[in-house]
Amino acid sequence: MQNRQAIETTLNKLFDAERTARRLHDDLAAMPGDVLLDVLNDAIAAAGRESDDDEAALRLVRVASLLGEHEGPRAIDALIDVLASEHPEARQAAGEEIESLAYERFKEVAQGIERALKRLPVGSSALPELPYLIAEVPEPGVPKLIGQFLSHKDPDAVAAGIETLVEIGDPTNASLIEPLVGDKRTVELADDGGEATSEVTIGELAEEALGLLAPYEEEEDGVA
């Protein structure tokens, strides 16, 4: 009986903490945008210096949630910065916000992605994630935007661009991939279980992608 009471007491404390967190979130979200974004960007930088991984992830997840409620380039850039963090939980939270915003305000997100392609360094963990976040958005500009990843110096970003264009399945996108045949840069790809990896060249990926898109083209030509 005593254990049950202790559990119920702790559970009620958790409910209270959640109510408090939601109230504080709403209070912060209602504050002036520019000032709030200044503070949130400082919080992202501080999390990057945090030695406790759990604490850093906790802060970045909450920051991502707040950023998702604000419009404008600064909010998008900051979300992409969280996506570039080393903490999987934070990257997932930022990715979900970016994907949701892409459905609602595609142009704003697209412009943020174009800026990210110019400002993020090779090796940034955000670059290979971004194509997947927009691949299913029903906007005609999606393939062209993903096509910009194919000319990036980061081979993982290029590989992600190739794979997402194959997922879209439009054979007209083959022309974006064809120039990469013969590219000798290498990337590591995980198997379907996400465990074992194999090394392939960008050129090999491009050739495989063109082969996968060919059946789509035949179907459109009525040859399938």
Which stretches within 30-141 are classed as H helix? 33-49, 53-67, 73-83, 88-104, 106-119, 130-134
**In the chain, which residues have pLDDT < 70?**
1-2, 191-196, 215-224
**The predicted structure's pLDDT at residue 189:** 83
Q: Taken in order 46, 52, 54, 55, is the CA torsion positive or negative?
A: negative
C-alpha span between 133 and 95 (Å, rounded): 7
CA distance to 147, 185, 215, per residue, from 155 (Å) = 13, 7, 26
**The predicted structure's pLDDT at residue 2:** 65
Q: Which residues contact 219 (CB under 8 A, 6 or more apart)?
A: none
**The predicted structure's pLDDT at residue 184:** 96
Residue that the structure tokens 């040859």 belong to: 223
- The tens digit of pLDDT for each residue in 95-136 reads 999 999 999 999 999 999 999 999 999 999 999 999 999 999
**The predicted structure's pLDDT at residue 224:** 44
Neighbours of 140 (CB within 10 A): 7
Instruction: Note whether 77 and 115 are within 8 A (CB).
Output: yes
Instruction: Note whether 93 and 60 are within 8 A (CB).
Output: yes
Domain regions of the chain by residue span: 120-224
Angle at 80 between CA 46 and CA 189, to 5 degrees: 110
**The predicted structure's pLDDT at residue 197:** 78
pTM as predicted: 0.88
**The predicted structure's pLDDT at residue 198:** 85
